[in-house]
């Protein structure tokens, strides 16, 4: 996976997530290590989530992890608190706002989970 593919996937996840219940403003910066390395941000404001491929200097939370770990969190396959406990992610900043990631991870406005294919017939 490339950095551009990761940002695109995160943008799709953010656009599909229901963030209408999150009040105020929160800005996450993700520093990705290893494959797809780079920095981008997720900003939630006025009931909308935006992902852009830039650093966010006035961020609330900085999260360092691999692309694989972040995608597992966003698809609902890995709990963000568990990832933090297992040291799969490093978090700097407002931990209260960092917990908001748990509210948007794995859920979509449509109710579908990303990345899951349903049927494959047995041969």
Mean pLDDT confidence for 109-115: 44
How confident is the model at residue 115, as a pLDDT? Answer: 42
pLDDT at res. 88: 96
**Which segments within 1-123 are labelled E, that is strand?**
25-33, 38-45, 48-52, 61-66, 90-93
pLDDT at 122: 41
119 assigned to some structural domain: no
- How would residue 28 be classed by pLDDT, with cut points 50, 70 and 90? very high
> What is the reported pTM?
0.83
Average pLDDT rounded to a whole number, residues 27-37: 97
Q: Is residue 114 part of a domain?
A: no
The residue segments making up the domain with residue 84 are: 3-104
Which residues contact residue 40 at a Cβ distance below 8 angstroms, ignoring those fewer than 6 apart? 6, 7, 10, 29, 30, 32, 51, 52, 53, 54
% of the chain surpassing 90 pLDDT = 64
Comparing CA positions, the residue from 39, 101, 94, 35 lying closest to residue 64 is 39
Q: Kindly state whether residue 113 falls inside one of the protein's structural domains.
A: no
């Amino acid at each position: 996976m490339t950095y551009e593919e990761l940002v695109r996937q995160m943008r799709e996840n953010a656009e599909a997530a229901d963030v209408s219940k999150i009040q105020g403003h929160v800005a996450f910066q993700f520093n990705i290590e290893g494959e797809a390395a780079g920095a981008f941000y997720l900003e939630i404001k006025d009931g909308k989530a935006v992902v852009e491929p830039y650093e966010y200097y006035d961020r609330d939370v900085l999260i360092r992890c691999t692309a694989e770990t972040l995608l597992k969190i966003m698809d609902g396959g890995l709990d963000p608190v568990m990832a933090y406990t297992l040291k799969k992610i490093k978090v700097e900043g407002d931990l209260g706002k960092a917990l908001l990631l748990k509210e948007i991870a794995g859920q979509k406005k449509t109710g579908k989970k990303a990345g899951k294919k349903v049927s494959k017939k047995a041969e």
